[in-house]
Amino acid sequence: MPSPLSQAPAAVEELVATLQAAASIDNLWPVSQLLVKWRHTAEIYADPRLYTAATRVLGEDGGPVRRPEAPESVA
């Protein structure tokens, strides 16, 4: 498992860029979203089962996906 600390420089760059962008539009929502993303990433690193599930190779293409049926109209 790679160390989250090895990602620190990139995380700082991402935070600074997000803060600058948020300040330019006078809206802190992008910073909030970044923190949520980081929280989810930390949860995956903290739980070996989640980390294994999130990083496993999925294998081959699962094939075509069927188009969903149109919902019945409500009269």
pTM score over 0.75: no
pLDDT 10s digits, 6-65: 888 999 999 999 999 999 999 999 999 999 999 999 999 999 999 999 988 887 887 888
**CA–CA gap between residue 46 and residue 7 (Å, rounded):** 15
H-assigned helices in 6-70: 8-25, 29-46, 48-55
| pLDDT for the residue numbered 16 | 97
Its domain, for residue 40, covers 28-56
Q: Is residue 67 part of a domain?
A: no
| pLDDT for the residue numbered 52 | 93
46: Cα separation from own chain's centroid? 16
| pLDDT for the residue numbered 74 | 66
Q: Is residue 41 part of a domain?
A: yes
Structural domain tally of the chain? Answer: 1
pLDDT band at 1 (very low <50, low <70, confident <90, very high): low
Q: Is residue 44 part of a domain?
A: yes
Q: Is residue 1 part of a domain?
A: no
Q: Is residue 34 part of a domain?
A: yes
